[in-house]
Each structure stands twice: as C-alpha cells, then as structure tokens.
Chain A
Amino acid sequence: MQKIILLFIIPLTMLVGCTEDVNLSVVGSERKIVIEGRIENGKVAEVIVTRNSPLSEKVDYSKILVTDAKVFVSDGTITEPLAFVIDSAASIPFIYKGATIIGIPGQTYYLTVVADGKTFTAITTIPAPIKLDSVWWKADPPQDTLGFAWAHLSDPAGVGNAYKWYAKRPTKDRRFIAPFSSTFDDKFIDGKSFDFAYNRGTDPTVDPNITKKEPENERGYFKKTDTIYIKFCAIDNSSAKFYTAYETALQSNGNPFASPTTIISNIKGGGLGIWAGFGVTYDTIMPTK
C-alpha cells in the first residue's frame, strides 16, 4: 500500500525529472542510543546497543558500537543482567545476551539499559505464536528451478494480529533474513485463510561484492534444491508499527518523493529502536524432488 505514491511518481520523474548531486550544509544530530532488543518464546533475551551516526560524519564503527552498557531484563519477578558476548548469528555480532529468563508467550518483559550516562526503559509482551498451516516451494513461471517460499495462514478472527516473516537457507545464510515488506497485520485479512509467498531477502551485512557474484536472474529466488527454514513470528502492535515504518524507511531511502518516515520507538528515555517480544514458530521446506 505504501508504494502507491512511489509507483505513481516514478513514471513522472522518468518523463521530466533530472537528478543531480548537491552539496548542502547539513547540521548533524546529537549522538543517540539505539536499542534493538528481542525476546522470543523458548529463548533468552538478546539486545544490541549502538549509537546513531550523524549524517554529517563518516560512518565510524568505533563510535557506533556501545560495549559498556548495563542491560537488564525482568519478567516482573526476577531481573537478570545481560552479558556482552560475541554472537555470529546476530546482525551485528556484538550483543548483550541473557542466561536465565526464557521467553514464555503471554508474559511481559521489562528492559532497562544504562548507556552514555542515560537510562532507557521499555516493555513488551510475547504474543501467542500462530503456526502456519503448511509451507512449500513453488516455481515462478516461466522458470522451473527458481521460485518463492509459499505458506498457508489461517488468521484468528479478531483484528489485531501482526506477523513478521524470516527465512534462512541453512547452508548459505549466516542468519534469518527478513525480505522487504516482511511485516504485515490482519487489517485486510482478518479471520481469513489464504496462501501467500515471499521472495528471498538480502542480508545487508553481507559484503555486496559477494552478493554481486550471484547470477542476476537468481537474486530474490529460492532454488528448487534449497532447504529453507521459515521463522514466522507473531508480534505486538508497537513492534508491528516499528517494523512497518522501518521497512517503509528502507524503501524510501533514495526515493525523492518519500515523506519523512518517523520510526516510532517504544524505548522510553530518548532512545531509538525497539524492544520486541516474538511469538515464534519454525517450519522447514525440504528440496522438492
């Protein structure tokens, strides 16, 4: 839906527009703390703490990474500090990870982060996981060996469910990857039972020189011979808002007609980012013979 204006405008700019680089004196933002935390059912909490990178400056990883934050997660009864660890399966491999508190659907979790002399807090609840009825691979004609990952979902009656889709090829991907528009809610599909499909997302943390080596016609496709792990997550409203806006912001990067997308954070205390509870179910698509 959010593409309407973009679709509308692209031909217009093709008809008449000319684009050029300009030098503008831009005032940079103050440094802000960014928190990307999640707790999934059956897993411990994982939190990435970074700082933003002002537009006026070159990206400097030593300034972005926050390695000395104090991070605490509580389920209302017990509170545990999270340890700073290296985890190769995370988007940025430096994360704060829990040990004792394991996510339970329906439970509310409280996050506290102390970083750069400020305290940030957030609350989330893990929604009840909703299992996909079935998953399969289907070719995208006229191709016969390249296709998309399909699934059948029966949305529970009552508006308010939201979902996020991830997929991973165990032998090829470092982590679960969200394709574009991986977040959706049941505003238009409430109580319906239907098929849907996703293409293969690209991991932004992979060196583009490696991505470029892949034949162009195979990009975005799963192969007939791929094993695909599907991670299908039920998420709450504030996470859905955050991720939808985040996806819009990604798509509008470099789009001249995009209006500023404010990504609404649920972090209190002046921070950016999200503290999200994920009700996760996993499925596997095996190579079709």
Chain B
Amino acid sequence: MKHNFITHLSFLLFFVINVSNSYAQEKQKFTISGYVKDAANGETSIGANVYIKELLKGGSTNQYGFYSITVEKGTYHLVVSYIGYTDFVKEIILDKNIRLNIELKNTTINVKEVEVSSEKTDKNVSSTAVGSVKLDMEEIKKIPAFLGEVDILKTIQLLPGVKAAGDGNTGFYVRGGGPDQNLILLDEAVVYNASHLFGFFSVFNGDAVKSVNLIKGGMPAEYGGRLASVLDISMKEGNNKQYHAEGGIGLISSRLTVQGPIKKDTGSFIISVRRTYIDALVKPFAKSGSTLKSSGYYFYDLNAKVNYRLSDKDRIFASGYFGRDVMNFNDKSSQFKLNVAWGNATGVVRWNHLFNDKLFMNVSAIFSDYKFSFGAEQSGFEFKLFSGIRDWNGKVDFSYFPTIRHQIKFGANYVFHTFTPSSVSAKQGETQFDFGKIKRDKAHEAAVYLSDDFDVTDKLRIHAGLRYSYFMQIGPFDRYLKDPITGQTTSIIHYTSNQKVKDYGGLEPRLTARYSLNSKSSIKASYTYNLQYLHLASLSAVTLPTDTWVPCSELVKPQRGTQYSLGYFRNFKENVYETSVEIYYKELKNQIEYKDGSLPAAAVNDNADNQFTYGKGQAYGAEFFVKKRLGKFNGWVGYTLSYTKRTFPDLNNGQTFYAKYDRRHDVSIVLSYDLNKKWTFSTVWVYGTGNAITIPVAYYFVDGNFVTQYGDRNAFRMPAYHRLDISATLTPDRKKHLDRKMERLTKRYERQGKDVSKIVVPKKWAKNYESSWSFSVFNVYNRHNPYIVYFSSTGSLATGDYRAKAKQVYLFPILPSVTWNFKF
C-alpha cells in the first residue's frame, strides 16, 4: 500500500514538473484555435488531426471539434486532416492569437485513391492511443448488415480483441473482460443494455450516429467505472445549413431521420426514429383468436438532439434517446399471458464554454435509465417481476492546451445511482403474496481526474493520467445476515435513509507511451489500473435483458483490473496499409459469479449478493490487424489468439476454469469493393472458437427419476462459430436517370409538335434527392451456428430405453434481405 502511494506520488510529481518546465521555456508564443467542421452540414469533426507542417507537431480536435495549438511566433502551414475529407492546408502568420474555424470538404470515394494524406497524418502510428479504434459511419454502413440494419455493435465485434458472444447474445467481450466491463456511452450517457431483440440489433440507430470510438486498452483517465473498454458514441448534431430527411425501408423495420438548422450556422436539430414491424406484418395472416394473433414482438427507438451556439464562446446541446422492446405472448388454450418490456432512456444537456484560446470546458447533466419488466398471468395467478437502474450524473471536463507539446485534460464527475434489484409482486385471485417492500439500492459515485498527452522528445510521446474514484452505498438498506451452514437469516441490520452502508475508493493510474521508430512505425505500451463499482449478475448461460446490475456492497467488492499492453504499429505504401500487432496481459480481481446451485429468485427478504461467490480472472492474448484503408478495394483482416481464465475458491473445486467466452482463435475478414459509382460490394467472414460451457456428464437416480450430474465448469466446447455475409449496394445515378427522362420528355414534345424550348421541367427534378438499394445475404453457406447446446433425455426407466441426446439451438439460417434507403 505504502509502496503504491509513493509510486503514485512520484508519478504525479513527474507530471507536474514536466508541465511547469514547459511554462518556464515559454517565449513569445501565440495560439491558433477554433473548431473543425464538415463544410456540407456543419457537423463538428471529432478527433481530426490538426498540426503545423513545419514542426510536424500538433494535436487533435476534442469531443466537440475544438483544437488549440500554441507555438512560437512565426509563419507556418496549418494542416487539418480527417478520414474521408480533403486535407485543409493554410498558411498562417502567427504574430497574434488567431481564431480559425475550419470547414472540411468531403471527398468522394473515387477521389480517395489519389488523395493520400501526408505521412504525419496517420494516427495509427503517431497517436498514443493503444488498443483504440475509431470507426466512421460511412465505413460501418458498407459492411453487410443483418436484415439490412446497420449495426455499430456488430461492426466493432469484427475488430481484433473484441468478441461477439454469438447470435442472440446482448453482450460483447473485450480482451477477456465480461459484458458488464464495457462502458457504453451515447453522448456521454451510460447505456446499460445496448441491444434490442436479445442482441440481434443494437440500440444505436446508424442514421443518428456521427462517430464511434472504441478503446480496449490504455483507457485515458477521463473514462472510468469499467474495466475492459469504452465505446464512446457521439450523436450527430444535425445539419445547420439546410433541411434534410433520410431513411430506409427494410424487411422488418423502417427508419426516418429529419435534420436541419434552427438558425443557419448557429443552431440545428436532428430527430431519428426507428420501429420494427414483424408483428404488424404477421398479424393479418394469423387466424383470429390464435396465439400468433395476440402475440407479437416489436421495438422502437427515438434519438433527438438540438444544439445552439449562444456566442463564439458558448454552445449548448440537449440530446436524448428513448427505446423500448416489447414482447407479448398470449396462448388462449392454456390461458397463459405474458408481457415483457425493457429499454433505455437517456437525456443529456451540455454546455461548452471557451474561457480563452487554450482552455475549453464542458459541463454536462446526464440522466440514464434502464428498465426491465416481466408480467405473466395464468388462471387467476398474476406475477410481475421488474428490475432496473437509474443514474443522475453531473460532469465537468476541461481541455487545456498550454503548449504544442501538451494536451491536458482534467475534470470531475458525480453519479447518483438507484438500483432496483429483481422485485416481484404476485397474487392468486384476491390473495396478495408477501414479497416485502420494493427495494431500491442507492449509491453515490464520484471521480476526479487529470491527464496529459505530451511530447517528451520528438520520438517519445506519453499519455499520463490519474483518476481517483469513490463509491458509497447508502441507505435505506436492509442487510440480511445468513447462517453460513443453514443459509437462514439470523439477523437484519437496518440502515436509514442516506446512512452510509459501505464505501470504497482508490487511485487509478494510467500510462501510455508511444515511441516512433520512424515516420512509418512505432512501438506503444500501456499500463492501466481501473476500478469498477457495478457488477452485472448473470445466471443464465446467455446474456439476457433479465440480468441485473448490482452495486458494490459489504460483500461485493469493487472489480479491479490491471492491464499491460504492448504494440507494434507499422504503415505501408504511403499509409494505404495499416498494420499492428498488440499483446496484452490482464488481471481481474473481485469478480462475481452465482454460487453453485443458485436459482433465479427475487431479492425478497434477502440480498442478491448473498447468492454470489467471488474470485479472480486472468486474460492474455495477441491481436493482429491488417487494414487497407484507401482505394477501391479496402477492408481489414483481424486475428486474435486469446486465453481467458477464472479462479473461484468455491467453484469447480477451486480449480481454474476457462471463462465461457474464452476464445482461442478469432478471425474477422471484412472486404469491400467499389466497382463503380453505382455498385459497391462487401463481404464479412468471421470465425470463433466455440464458447466454453458446462455439460452433463452423467445421470443418477433420485426418487425414481434420472437427474443430471454436471461435469467440470466450462470444460466442454461448443462447435466453432463461423459465418459468411455478403452485400451489394446499388446507388442509381440520378443524373443519368433525369437525363433519360428529359430525353423522353423532349421526344414527346417533338411528337406532339410543341416547342421544345418551352419544356416545363417538373420542380421535383431539381430536388437534391438520392436513393440506394442495399441487398444482403446473411450466413451465405447456411451454417447452423450453435446458440445453445443442451441435453435432453427421452424414454423411460421402466421400459429401459432411457437415453440422453445432445441438441443444439441455432438462430439464423441463410437470411437474404433488401433495404431501400433514401435521402433528400
């Protein structure tokens, strides 16, 4: 502990001295700062590279598109580069502080080939970010989509180190971490369950999303509260130049997005809605009174955002998300009714303020909510179960750009959590069953952080960060103390409202270093230590919306994660090819699992954590990545070799076992080919070692029945998962189409003997209108990938034909789909 403290202290000192040193050297320096935006729609560009060509030094725009560079007086060339945009280059005479807002022009696909950015611009090699990937929506939209729905979560699962849990699972796994260890942010608001329809779709509507940034190692200090990764998703702000509508009509869902200026170049809005209609399509064909007629499934979601520039220094944003999944099941014959609904809601209000050319501030007030409810009814018996989590979050973040060498961030964050553990109410006729009062667990979570991204030498760049986080569970709370042998409640400790139940806190140091070998290659290393105060308890073999979030308590200690990673990054052929090899080693402490023999039950007259048992985890692996970024033919190949282990004293006789998502081999190949302006083709192939599961090994007699005896935990492997998807996008050439129409119109005029010069062109022809068709085939070779493997017994002991058979459930056969997208 003492040793730890000294390490942290010296780390901080180093950091502070270095920053103050750079002040001392300061001479006649001036600052150029401003915002980087898209010229066509005014959307700010996140993470664009801004640098001084002469110095080959610079930084990047922050979350709000702001940059600031301070250098000695002089004449320079300022270069701004951003994927998918033409480089912006401008000569600047820096003899005073300059404010320069930059608008970048979108490059078309065909121009991309010649538009090779200069060496310096390549972030793959030059940034300190290790294990970090930024994806732009254009790239995501090209990849074959399941049933035509563009999906961010599915796309990131194609990256090395990120594993899909398989069809129909809501979670994803990053470098051996659990699905609860991913921090998923939508405009800074935490999204607790990022999936619709049991993971078949993600909650993020591609039309409303601007950028996606995934951090799987070397997590910067401004992020915290999760061990494995950050998925930071920014919503579009809305076109602040002109009104636009776009949407798509697909086989199972449709979507519509409307955006436009509130005041040109000053404020804008965007609204995006989406709904599935499997239920509406099926119902007319169902017999009246049948189960199908009164059952159904649908989800919908809504994204909305407005922003307004109050002055050159102040800008406000308000954004929100609301989505629900609803499933109804009504079986008339057994009088069994079921209603299940779940979903997220988030709301964020942000204020950007520029104190001066070097200091940028953002203040956010964030609301985040996840709810799950389940209701069932059969012959007079009514049953309801619900659970959820709700956060109120206040946040202030500063970006400070003292010199060209430093980019400092600091801030503070406070969250008030309210957890509703699985709560139950039930009644039989008039009799209400006693499930106690509904519990809500409450907790405070807070953090402060400081980080600096700085050039130590021309070759060495370091990101050093320190975060202190604190968590306190508060009352009202009842602690049920259990007899360790009988499991019976021996006493109850009652905590009153706001009374402290238990608190935890700790320092989380983060360090990342990049050493440039030359302009084409670099070595990066990182060390991160994270604390996580929330756990997701999952009893089933698959991740489901029923999984509940539980806070730290006296029994549940904070999850602790330490990650070391090392990577070699090299670009080839003028940055056309990006390659990397990364290795990582990770240790996880205070992991939770349900005790052996636990059954799903409500936390009634009990605490959910009484059912948990605790252990540790270990994960290591190597990730290989080759990406062709530019050209007609582009895409990537990723391969991950990994090991994920868990050790729990009370599970598997204390022997180490593989986590269920341990995956020895994981391959993703993503290729896309732009044939011409009209046609784009793409394909995805994925392969993953089967999940580790626990299976029966024997049967035995109890009371005349044969019951199952399970083998070692996760000792069996499901068959491997692999799948090929293809897609083709047809974008009809509207100009050609209109020309042809014009030709026909001219001919008609001529036939009718009218004056051709007096042709009245229909107004709608002049409209800027685009449409495209997206055809895709999911699971081309119809692989039956196992969703679940289970054993079922048939026959009777009396007749002696009793036997057990392995069965597997697979979800998706080959699935073709077509979607029509439009934009005007």
**Residues of A in contact with B (beta carbons under 8 Å apart):** 1-2, 4-5, 7-9, 11-13, 15-24, 26-29, 32, 34, 36, 48, 50-55, 58-59, 61, 64, 91-92, 159-160, 178, 187-190, 192, 194, 203-209, 237-238, 241, 244-246, 248-250, 253-264, 272-274
Judge if B599 is at the interface, Cβ distance under 8 Å: yes
- Given A29-B711, A52-B709, A256-B790, A22 and B719 touching (CB < 8 A)? yes
Of the residues A4, A28, A192, A245, contact of B385 by C-beta under 8 Å = A4
- Given A2-B601, A5-B546, A187-B605, A260 and B697 touching (CB < 8 A)? no
B483 nearest CB across to chain A (Å): 9
Residues of B within 8 A of A264 (CB): 596-597
Distance between Cα atoms of A203 and B704 in the complex (Å): 8
Are B790 and A255 touching (Cβ within 8 A)? yes
Are B697 and A21 touching (Cβ within 8 A)? no
Are A207 and B799 touching (Cβ within 8 A)? yes
Residues of A within 8 A of B338 (CB): 7-8, 11
Are A273 and B809 touching (Cβ within 8 A)? no
Judge if B695 is at the interface, Cβ distance under 8 Å: yes
Judge if B602 is at the interface, Cβ distance under 8 Å: yes
Residues of B within 8 A of A263 (CB): 597, 702, 707, 709
Are A192 and B698 touching (Cβ within 8 A)? no
Residues of B within 8 A of A260 (CB): 541, 694-696, 708, 710
* B688-703 with Cβ < 8 A to chain A: 694-703
The residue in chain B whose Cβ has the minimal distance to the Cβ of A59 is B802
B423 nearest CB across to chain A (Å): 12
Judge if B295 is at the interface, Cβ distance under 8 Å: yes
Are A253 and B541 touching (Cβ within 8 A)? no
Distance between Cα atoms of A92 and B792 in the complex (Å): 23
The residue in chain B whose Cβ has the minimal distance to the Cβ of A12 is B198
Of the residues A17, A54, A207, A262, contact of B710 by C-beta under 8 Å = A262
Residues of A within 8 A of B707 (CB): 246, 249-250, 253, 263
Are A50 and B434 touching (Cβ within 8 A)? no
Of the residues A11, A27, A273, contact of B711 by C-beta under 8 Å = A27
Residues of A within 8 A of B791 (CB): 55, 253-254
**Residues of B in contact with A (beta carbons under 8 Å apart):** 168, 198, 295, 297, 327, 329, 338, 340, 374, 376, 385, 424, 431, 433-435, 486-489, 539-542, 544, 546, 596-597, 599-602, 604-606, 694-711, 716, 719, 784, 786-793, 796-800, 802-813
Of the candidates B431, B787, B802, the one having the most CB atoms from chain A within 10 angstroms of its own CB is B787
Are B790 and A32 touching (Cβ within 8 A)? no
Of the residues B698, B789, B805, contact of A32 by C-beta under 8 Å = B698
Distance between Cα atoms of A82 and B711 in the complex (Å): 32
Of the residues A13, A24, A61, contact of B806 by C-beta under 8 Å = A24
Of the residues A92, A187, A254, contact of B704 by C-beta under 8 Å = A92
Residues of B within 8 A of A256 (CB): 787-788, 790, 807, 809
Residues of A within 8 A of B599 (CB): 1-2, 244-245, 248, 261
Are A250 and B716 touching (Cβ within 8 A)? no
Residues of B within 8 A of A48 (CB): 701
Q: Can you identify 17 A-B contacts, CB atoms within 8 angstroms? A: A2-B601, A11-B327, A12-B327, A16-B812, A20-B807, A20-B808, A23-B806, A50-B701, A52-B700, A53-B698, A92-B704, A192-B434, A203-B704, A208-B799, A250-B705, A253-B708, A260-B695
The residue in chain B whose Cβ has the minimal distance to the Cβ of A264 is B597
Residues of A within 8 A of B809 (CB): 13, 17-19, 256
Distance between Cα atoms of A32 and B711 in the complex (Å): 12
Are B488 and A159 touching (Cβ within 8 A)? yes
B731 nearest CB across to chain A (Å): 32
Distance between Cα atoms of A41 and B784 in the complex (Å): 55
- Given A52-B699, A189-B434, A205-B704, A259 and B541 touching (CB < 8 A)? yes
Distance between Cα atoms of A260 and B435 in the complex (Å): 27
Distance between Cα atoms of A150 and B753 in the complex (Å): 94
Residues of B within 8 A of A8 (CB): 338, 340, 374, 544, 546
B460 nearest CB across to chain A (Å): 50
The residue in chain A whose Cβ has the minimal distance to the Cβ of B786 is A22
Residues of B within 8 A of A4 (CB): 374, 385, 546, 600
Are A22 and B807 touching (Cβ within 8 A)? yes
Are B374 and A204 touching (Cβ within 8 A)? no
Of the candidates B700, B788, B812, the one having the most CB atoms from chain A within 10 angstroms of its own CB is B700
Are A34 and B486 touching (Cβ within 8 A)? no
Distance between Cα atoms of A170 and B338 in the complex (Å): 39
The residue in chain B whose Cβ has the minimal distance to the Cβ of A242 is B702
A172 nearest CB across to chain B (Å): 16
Distance between Cα atoms of A196 and B487 in the complex (Å): 26
Closest 7 CB pairs of A and B: A91-B704, A254-B792, A29-B697, A52-B700, A262-B596, A29-B698, A52-B698
Are B605 and A159 touching (Cβ within 8 A)? yes
